[in-house]
Structures are given as C-alpha cells and as structure tokens.
Chain A
Amino acid sequence: MSRFGFVVIDLISKCVPEYAFIYDVKLITLSSTGNCMTIFKKIGLSKRYGKAIYAISVALTLAIASLVFFNPYAIPMALLLKLVSIPIILYLYTTFTKNTEIYFYLNLGLSRKEYYSIPFVVEFIGFILFITLIAYLGNAIR
C-alpha cells in the first residue's frame, strides 16, 4: 500500500470515528514489514476460512445498496446497519464454526486479530466503494 494510501486511512479513521477500524488495514500492512504481497496473501487466506462471512456480508451489502439506490439520504442509516451487523455476524461465525480451525491459519502466520478482522475490513471497504457507486448511479438515473 502506498504512503498516500496510509495518509488517506489515517485521515478517514481520525475524522470519522465509525470508520476507525479501517486503521487495522494500515496496521496489518505495516506489520508485514512493508511487504504488500503478504497482506494480499492474508486476504487470500481469509477467502478460504471466511466464505460464510463474505457471503452474508455481501448479501447484506446488496440489500442495503438497493435502499441507497432509491434514497441516497439513507446512507447514514445504511452505514449504521452495516456497522451493527458486524458484531452479529462475528458472533454467529464464532458460534457455528469449528474453533480448532483457527490454529491451521495461526500456524501460517496470521494473528488472531487478523483472522477475525480481515474479512470484515475487506468487505467493509468493498461496501463503502459499492454504496458510493450505487448512490452516484441512483442520482444519475434520477
């Protein structure tokens, strides 16, 4: 990730408290000692164990996007819905998945924090970009 990317993340995480946890993206990248390929490898690993998280989160994103498409003033509510869904999805995931599987990925160099946060951070960034695009599309069509 470039220095500009880190500056943007710092700015967003400080100015908008709700976005504070995207600061994890910077920490994860920095903890990989500057090797950007390592963060992509970790994201790739998260696609293996976090399929359920990604599936539910993407379904929720699409549902929320339909709200925003017809009513761009619903963006704050959409954001709130998304943020509230994260701990719920996390609770369901930890309850219904085999808890020893985490050690398979800890052995590969992931930390416990990265194991749980990467799917949500990646999906949340995708959510922000998608909602922004949908809001613009909705406005353009109207």
Chain B
Amino acid sequence: MQSVNRLLVDSVHLEFDRLQVLQSAYITAQTGRVTGVLGRNGCGKSCLFKCIMGGIKPQNIFVRFNDEPETDYGHIGKRVKYLPQNVFMPTNMTLGEAYELYGVDYDGLVAFDNKFHTYQRLTAGQLSGGEVRIAEMYMVLNSDAEFCILDEPFSNVAPKHVEMMQRLIQTHKATKGIIISDHMYEQVMDITDDLFLLRDGYTFPIKSREDLIHHGSILR
C-alpha cells in the first residue's frame, strides 16, 4: 500500500521593498490528491512556489513534511520537484541529457507523444515553447519525488496535449502529491481535489465556481 505523504506550507510572508506579496499564505498537499492554486496575474502564485523551493528567500516560511520535526530548507528539491512558469531546461542541454540527470526514461516521453522520438539529441533552444513544456512537465512528473509543483503547465500547449497532461496528472497523483496552478481554471478544477485562491497575499479555500465569482476571480 502506497504510504501517504503530507506537505504543509504555512506562514509564508514575502515582501519586496515595501510591496507585500504574500502574507501568511499557506498551502497543503498530500499523496493521492491534486491541489490547485488559482489567482490573478501578479498575486504571488509563482513567488509562493519559488519560496517553497528556496529560489526566493521569504521573510518567513514554515514547511513540514509529514510529522517530521525538522525540515532541510536548503534541499527541498530532493523531495519536491518544481516546474516553473518559464522554460527551465538549460538551453544548451539535450533532452536526453536532461532526462538522464533526472533519472527519467526518455522512452516514456516517446510513448506519451511519438514526435519526441527524433528529439532526444535536440536542445531546449531548438524546440518550440509548447514542445519544451510537454517535455519538461513529463520529466518533472516522472522524476523521483514525493511532491510536484506545476506552475502553469498548460501554457503554450495545444488543447489535445492539455487533455493528455490532465490524464498524466491523474495517473501520477496515486504516488505523489501534486500542486498545480494555471489560468485555465476550468481545466484545473476538472482535476483538482483541493482548490485554493491566492488573493491579496492570503490563501482562501475554494469549494465551488461560485466562490471564485464571490472573490472576483472570474466574471459571472
């Protein structure tokens, strides 16, 4: 039986100069569930994820895995894999090399989308934005980690591949906790078990579409 891992991120406080981006933001994730995070442009979703990963140093953050008394804040990447909003694969690294570093079988990507069959020796700079996105997302989801954070994985991706990615996420949630954020809120709501809205630096749990309307995230 797959053990259930839990991730709690709480009390995230982030400000740049006098601009408060996050105030007591929190998020939770666990194996077997997909957690969605919605919010307007500039509300701090990416900042929240980068704070968790250690790319940005917030004024305060609390991260806990399961009931472990201590957290190695410097090496969160060993347990949580993050797919940033923009291309993060090094431009001079081939897809094959990147997959080897991450310990992911490239043949799996070929099985996911056959056109990657001839792309193994191509670099991220030689592929289209959408193709790189698919390759990066597949790599992150299939890498060995307890949790995955996907920041706008559906951006620049064709509708057919969005549906394929949704199915991939549903498959992988059985073995890892997944946090996903995207502006395509309907596609996110279709696959999430728990949903949060980030607004004014705070996190609000969302139960239905009406909650999003109430918070002003979408029009009626």
Contact = CB atoms under 8 A, between A and B. Distances in A.
Interface stretch (A18-26, A105-113, A128-136): A105-113
Contacts of B57: 112
B90 interface: yes
Given A103-B82, A107-B82, A112 B87 contact: no
Contacts of B145: 107
A104 B74 contact: no
B74 A112 contact: yes
A102 interface: yes
A104 B88 contact: yes
A106 B53 contact: yes
Contact of B77 (A48, A98, A108): A108
B81 interface: yes
Interface in B45-77: 50, 53-55, 57, 74-77
Contacts of B81: 107
Contacts of A102: 55
Interface residues of B, number: 27
A107 B76 CA distance: 8
A108 B82 contact: no
B101 interface: yes
A49 interface: yes
B175 interface: no
A23 to B, nearest CB: 16
Nearest to B79: A109
A94 interface: no
Contact of B55 (A45, A109, A112): A112
Given A107-B77, A107-B102, A107-B143, A112 B82 contact: no
B140 interface: yes
A101 B74 contact: no
A108 B80 CA distance: 10
A98 B55 CA distance: 13
B96 interface: no
A98 to B, nearest CB: 7
Interface in A62-98: 98
Nearest to B81: A107
B86 interface: yes
Nearest to A114: B74
A107 B57 CA distance: 16
B126 interface: no
Interface string A12-53: 000000000000000000010000000000000100110000
Contacts of B140: 107
Nearest to B101: A108
A51 to B, nearest CB: 9
A113 B91 CA distance: 22
A2 interface: no
A103 B84 CA distance: 7
Interface of A: 31, 45, 48-49, 98, 100-104, 106-114
15 contacts: A49-B90, A100-B84, A100-B85, A100-B87, A101-B88, A102-B55, A103-B84, A106-B53, A107-B53, A107-B143, A108-B102, A111-B74, A111-B77, A112-B57, A114-B74
Interface of B: 50, 53-55, 57, 74-78, 81-82, 84-91, 93, 98, 101-102, 140, 143, 145
